[in-house]
Amino acid sequence: MKLILTAVLITILLLVSFGCGNISGGTNDNTSEQENSSENDTLDAISLIENNCSRCHNLDRVYVIKAKDQWPIIIDRMVRKSPGLLNEVETTAVVEYFQENYSQ
């Protein structure tokens, strides 16, 4: 009888620890999804730049270091040269990308 009880206890313990493993596994999945979505934002900004900013000049002109407060002004000027080039959300993504990666 004791043996059966022990076996049942062990089974319960195993089930509980599997349960916890699954829960933390689920959390990890969520974290990696969030990482992926922020990677996608960066990728979107890069493809927006590559698709829209090489029309009038090459990208060497684009990938230069500027002061952070210059990027919104420059991008705004580019969009005004070519209305509809980027919508508001795209403009913000591109400005943030340059501020993070091409500013001192």
Interface residues toward ligand HEC, by CB under 6 A: 49, 52-53, 55-57, 61-62, 64, 74-75, 77-78, 81-82, 85-86, 94
d(CA 23, CA 12): 16
Please say which residue, 68 or 81, places its beta carbon nearer to ligand HEC.
Answer: 81
**In the complex, what is the shortest distance from the CB of residue 36 to ligand HEC, in angstroms, rounded to a whole number?**
25
Closer to ligand HEC by Cβ: residue 42 or 52: 52
